Amino acid sequence: MRRAILAIGGLAASTTLLVAVKGAPAVTPVAQAGAAGRSGASGAPSGPAAGGASSDPTAKGSAPPGRSGGAKPPAGARTTGPANRPPAGPVTVTGALVANEYGNVRVRVTLNGTDITAVTALELPESTADSTRRSASVRSRMGAQAVQRDSADLDTVSGATATSDSYRQSLQAALDRAARGERG
């Protein structure tokens, strides 16, 4: 019995340790993420180990996480329609990194003029098997819808409200950047 107690104690201690180690702010990955980041939104996963989703710096920067569905993309012209400087040929633009309580969302959109030809989700929440499954349905449904509608005004995927919101925001940010003539 004494050993069982030891084993249980060991299990608790090592689980806590593992979580603490993985939860500690990582120096290198943050720097990389920051370097590869976007102009506006800072959004490296660098929050302290403790604290709720609201303490996430990303949330403040790019977009407030919200279940309201009313959250709008960050500052910048909201030009879903005609582009100012229609580029020649297909261009690829990466959207903002939008964080919500499940993880990060970022999409890359390929445009031919104002015509969305493809949307690739670079990042979607995959912290649990279930959220991975939800993300997969967001990826396929919203991607197809975006190509169909040529806009970021997409229907929410049921069961994945927050991720749908973030997806819309990231896509909108990408479209805005494209409208400003930015690339990459």
Partner 1 sequence: MSTLRSRGPARRPRQTSEGWDRPRPASEGWDRPRPASEGWDRPRPASEGWDRPRPAGQQRGRPRGRGEDRHAPYRRPAASATPAAAGPAVPARRGPLPGWLVVGLLWLGLLASVLPWWLDTPTGSLRGTAAQLTAAGQITGLVAGYLLLVQVLLLSRLPVLERWIGAERLIRWHRDVGATVVVAVLAHLALIVVGYARLERRSSLGEAWTLLREYEDMLGAYAAAGIMVLLGLTGIRAVRALLPYELWYYLHLSSYATLLLGFGHQFTHGQQLFRPGPVRTGWIVAYVLVLAALLGGRVLVPLRLNLRHRLRVADVVAENRDTISIYLTGRRLDRLAVLGGQFFRWRFFAPGCWWQAHPFSLSAAGNGRWLRITVKVVGRHTADLRELDPGTPVWFSGPAGTFTAAHRRRDRALLIAGGTGITPIRALLEELPPGATLVYRARTPHDVLLGPELDWLAEARDVDLWYVVGSRDDPGPRQILSPRGLREIVPDVAERDVYLCGPAGLLAESVRLLRRAGVPRRRIHLATFEF
Q: What are phi and psi of 93, to 5 degrees?
A: -130, 140
Q: Is 109:171 a contact under the CB 8 Å cutoff?
A: yes
Which residue in the set 61, 63, 97, 102 belongs to the binding site for partner 1 (CB under 8 A)? 102
**Residue 22 CB coordination number (10 Å):** 9
| Segment lying near partner 1 (by CB under 8 A), choices 41-49, 69-77, 81-89, 106-114 | 41-49
Q: What are phi and psi of 88, to 5 degrees?
A: -90, 130
Tokens of 183: 């690339």
Q: Number of residues in contact with partner 1, rule: CB under 8 A?
A: 39
For position 11 contacting partner 1 by CB under 8 A, the verdict is yes
Of 163 and 172, which has the nearer Cβ to partner 1?
163
Q: What are phi and psi of 112, to 5 degrees?
A: -120, 95
For position 148 contacting partner 1 by CB under 8 A, the verdict is no
Binding-site string for partner 1 from residue 56 to residue 85, where x marks contact by CB under 8 A and - marks none: x----------x------------------
